[in-house]
Amino acid sequence: MSTTPPLPFDLAAAVTHLSKCDPCIARLIQEAVAFDPNIDHIQSPYEALLESIAYQSISGKAAATIFARIKALSANGGPPTPEEMLKLTKPVLRKAGLSGAKILAMKDLAQKTIDGSVPTHEEALKLSDEELVERLISVRGIGAWTVEMFLIFRLGRPDVLPIHDLGVKKGWSVAYNKKHMPRPKELLAFGERWRPYRTVASWYMWRAFEKAGYAATNKIRPPKIRRRAKKLVKRKKSRSGKRS
C-alpha cells in the first residue's frame, strides 16, 4: 500500500498562521477543499520542465497527446533523457507536434541539464527559491510562472506567491470583493501578511476563483491604471490628435 509523502512544511502551522492573520483566508479554509498540491516527488526538474514546455499555450488534451508522442521517442518509454533530446532531429520533433520554439526550448533545457545549470532533484532540494528561479529562467522558454508552479507542485515550497497568475489574481478579487484585479506589485505587497505560507494562501485564491465560476470572474476588470499612467495616456492621445 503506497502512502503519500509528507509535505516539506507543517501544514497545520500554516493553516493556523493564515487563519489568525487573515479572516478572509480563515473563511476560505473552512469552506474550500483542503490544501493538497499532489506533489510529484519522482519527476526530476528536467522532466517536469520538459512537460511544462510541451503544455505551454495549448489545451491540456492536445498537449497530453503531443507529450505522449515525445515519450514514445525515448528508449525507456518515459520522457527522452537530455542526451536523447539533443540527438532527436527537428523534423522528428515537428512530426510529434512541437513548434519550432518549443523544440529550441527543449534542446536548451537538455543542454543546460547536462551542463549542470538545471539541477537534479536532490540538488534542487538544497537550493533556495531565489536560486532556483535564477537558474531555471536561464532556460529558453521558461519564465517565472513556470518555475513558481515547479516550486509549488514539484518541491512543495511553502512561500511562493505567483503574482502574475490569472487564477490567483481573480481569486483575490473574489475573496476580497474587489471589482478589479490587483496589479502584481499590489498583490505582492498584500501577500506580505501571508508569509511564510504564501503558497497555501495562493491555493485558497485558486479555490475562490473556481468556486465563483467563470460567469462571475469574467466580470472582474483589469487592474486600475494609476493616475500618473492615466495622464501619460491622455497626453499621448492628445499629441496624436494634434498630429492628425
Q: What is the pLDDT of residues 81-129, one digit of tens each?
A: 999 999 999 999 999 999 999 999 999 999 999 999 999 999 999 999 9
For residue 120, give Cα distances in angstroms to 32, 43, 108, 143. 34, 10, 16, 19
Look at residue 203 in the predicted model and tell me its pLDDT: 97
Residue 46: how many other CB atoms lie within 10 Å: 24
Q: For residue 217, what pLDDT band results from cuts at 50, 70 and 90? A: very high
Look at residue 1 in the predicted model and tell me its pLDDT: 43
For the chain, give the percent of residues with pLDDT over 90.
Answer: 84
161 in Cβ contact with 194 (< 8 Å): yes
Nearest to 208 by CA among 160, 176, 161: 176
The yes-or-no verdict on residue 233 having pLDDT over 60 is no
Report residue 116: phi and psi, to 5°.
100, 0
Ordered structural domains, the chain, with CATH: 1-39+157-244 (1.10.1670.40), 45-153 (1.10.340.30)
Q: Give the mean model confidence (pLDDT) for residues 54-64.
A: 92
pLDDT digits (tens, 9 = 90+) for 166-209: 999 999 999 999 999 999 999 999 999 999 999 999 999 999 99
> What residues contact residue 11 under an 8 Å CB cut-off, 6+ apart?
35, 200
Report residue 158: phi and psi, to 5°.
-85, -20
The yes-or-no verdict on residue 238 having pLDDT over 90 is no
Specify whether 165 is catalytic: yes
Of the listed 22, 108, 159, 165, which one is catalytic?
165
The yes-or-no verdict on residue 215 having pLDDT over 90 is yes
Q: What whole-number distance in Å separates Cα of residue 131 and Cα of residue 227?
A: 36
The yes-or-no verdict on residue 3 having pLDDT over 60 is no
Look at residue 241 in the predicted model and tell me its pLDDT: 56
Q: Give the mean model confidence (pLDDT) for residues 71-76.
A: 95
The yes-or-no verdict on residue 11 having pLDDT over 60 is yes
